[in-house]
Structure 1
Amino acid sequence: MIDIRQVTKCYNHVTAVDAVTLTIRQGEIFGIIGYSGAGKSTLLRCLNLLERPTEGNILMDGKDLTALSDKEVRKERQKVGMIFQHFHLISSKTVFENVAFSMKAAGKTKEEIKIRVQELLKMVGLSDRSGHYPAQLSGGQKQRVGIARALANDPKVLLCDEATSALDPTTTKSILNLLKEINRKLGITIVLITHEMEVVQNICHRVAVMEKGKVVELADVYDIFANPKTALSKQFVQTVHSLELPERLLTGRKGPIVQITFQGGSAEEAVISETLRQFNVNANILHGQISYIQDQPLGTLIIELIGSHTEVQQAMDYITERTNRLEVLAGVA
């Protein structure tokens, strides 16, 4: 759907995006995550040539946008909707007029505009706000107007630039659910940039992690959470799945402290119960959690295993065999 080939974007002597190559598949929700200054917003703006790459190519449905004239690019942009962190609604226009704005620019008739805007406002849950002005709306409602406006000309791609960063957690969840529903119903490809790993966990199929203009890791979202490869990815995962223990829990223990990661089927099996039945050990639970990412369970448990050295080692070997993911955090004091 979207092929990003060795794209570099420079501003004077600063390289904001550095030789990025990615393929974004038709119909997926693709996340790009990084801290401020990582280059993610610049890369997103290169996708519809709001920023022209210094080097490299952007292909959409096989068409090289970087080879087009400015007039041709403007036509292609009608296939790409965009929503922003700070909404960018026209304060002097009603909700209806804001959504209709791009359709007028595209030359649609009044009747076409009326029917389409009504459909979109119903889709985003704002049918009763058609005549309201932006100042009369909450932040979540403003973003829903932004989403409706971005969908007005039936785009194939929706670009989301920190679309939930200005919203509270409850409103963020409702907007993410709306985007997921739009993706499911319309099959539209969504590219979403964020600095919040919880957003990635909740909505994305795959994610690219960016640092200093480069993509340092690319994987399915489940795999990033289950087995992050880079230090930066681990930092982002820990913002959602924080498993740090107080230092006092790591000292003066009767047995080793181990962290067990349960993926897929093992997360729904009684591995620990079976371990305690088979071996003469006790388990002191210190920390644990389970999440569902793309409907797949991912669990983490930190326990202290108490018993003889032989029994404890056999228990750890058994757990490792069942889960393939056991890490000793601290030995016997």
Structure 2
Amino acid sequence: MISITNLTKDYKTKKGTITGVDNVSLTVNEGEVFGIVGYSGAGKSSLLRCMNLLERPTSGEIRVDGLDLTKLKGEGLRQARLKIGMIFQHFYLISQKTVGENVGFALKAAKLPKDQIAKRVDELLEMVGLTDKRDVYPAQLSGGQKQRVGIARALANNPSVLLCDEATSALDPNTTLSILRLLKKINRELNITIVLITHEMNVVKEICDRMAVMQDGRVIEEGDVYDLFSDPKADLTKEFISSVVSFDVPQPILAACTGSVIKVQFKGAVAGEGIITDTVQHFDVKGNFLHGSIEYIQEKPLGLFLMEIQGRPDNIHRAITYMEGRGATVEVILNGI
């Protein structure tokens, strides 16, 4: 669907050339929700804006549905962009136009007949839950409603790709969740490929299928969201994931532990099994939970627990071996043996 090869974007400044995107190669599959994560200045917005040539890359190739956008200009590029919708962080609605007029703006620019524009606007407003707001102005809307207008506008020309530039960063948590659920609904029902950039891992956890982590203009890690949450490799990825799944235990509590402290992770169906309970029952050890949770990522459970385990060294070793044999990943944080 989207194939990016050796993409570089340089910016000329008074202090010299700054590389915003540094030789990035990525593939986004048809029909998936792909997240690009990074802190401010990582290059994620520059990469996203290159995907529809709002910014023309310095070098490299961008193919959407097999078409190399970097080779297009003028009318050819305009036609290609019609199939790539974009949603912005700050909405960018026209304040002097009604909701219906904002949504229909792109259709009017495409010179569709008035009756077709009216019908399409009705369809889009129903899709985003704003049928009753057609004749009101943006100033009368909440932030979430404004973003729904932005989504409807981005869908006007039946795009195959939807680019989301920090689409929920200006919204409160409850509104963010409703917008993410709307995007997921659009993705599933219309089979629209969605690429979103964010610095919030909860956004990725909620709707993304795969993700890439950017730092200093480069992609430092990418893959299936569940795999990266359960086994991150790069330090920055671990840092981002810790904002959602944290194992920070106060040092005084760790210092008070007399046994071994272990981190236990369960993936998939194993997370629903009573492995820790079985371990304590079958071996002469005692378990003391310090921290634990089960997260649901891509509708699959990921169990994460931090616990103190006490007993004879051989029993502790047998208990850990047993848990690993049942499919758990066990890491010794503090060896009290």
Q: Which amino acid in structure 2 is aligned with residue 8 of structure 1?
A: T
Matched, 1:133 2:137: yes
Would you say the 8 A contact 1:252–1:332 is kept in 2?
A: no
Deviation at 1:62, TM superposition (A): 0.8
Which residue, out of 269, 273, 297, partners 1:269? 273
Deviation at 1:320, TM superposition (A): 2.0
Deviation at 1:331, TM superposition (A): 2.0
Would you say the 8 A contact 2:261–2:332 is kept in 1?
A: yes
Partner of 1:193: 197
1:289-308 map, 5 Å: 289-308=293-312
Partner of 2:227: 223
Rounded Cα–Cα distance in structure 2 between residues aligned with 1:76 and 1:309: 66
Would you say the 8 A contact 2:34–2:209 is kept in 1?
A: yes
Which residue, out of 327, 331, 334, partners 1:330? 334
Q: Which runs of 4+ in 1 moved over 2 A?
A: none
Partner of 1:24: 28
Match of 1:98, SS state, is helix
**How does the TM-score come out when normalised to structure 2?**
0.97
Would you say the 8 A contact 1:255–1:332 is kept in 2?
A: yes
Rounded Cα–Cα distance in structure 1 between residues aligned with 2:45 and 2:75: 24
Aligned length: 333
Q: Which amino acid in structure 1 is aligned with residue 254 of structure 2?
A: L
1:1-333 map, 5 Å: 1-12=1-12, 13-332=17-336
Deviation at 1:196, TM superposition (A): 0.4
Rounded Cα–Cα distance in structure 2 between residues aligned with 1:150 and 1:232: 32
Deviation at 1:324, TM superposition (A): 4.3
Deviation at 1:192, TM superposition (A): 0.4
Is 318-327 or 167-176 further displaced after alignment? 318-327
Q: Give the unaligned 5+ runs of structure 1.
A: none
Deviations 1:17-68 (A, max 9, x none): 0010011111000000000000000000000000001000111111111011
Deviation at 1:306, TM superposition (A): 1.2
Deviation at 1:321, TM superposition (A): 2.0
**How does the TM-score come out when normalised to structure 1?**
0.99
Q: Give the unaligned 5+ runs of structure 2.
A: none
Rounded Cα–Cα distance in structure 1 between residues aligned with 2:74 and 2:11: 20
Is 316-325 or 203-212 further displaced after alignment? 316-325
Rounded Cα–Cα distance in structure 2 between residues aligned with 1:110 and 1:319: 66
In percent, how many aligned pairs have the same letter?
56
Rounded Cα–Cα distance in structure 2 between residues aligned with 1:270 and 1:90: 56
Rounded Cα–Cα distance in structure 1 between residues aligned with 2:160 and 2:324: 45
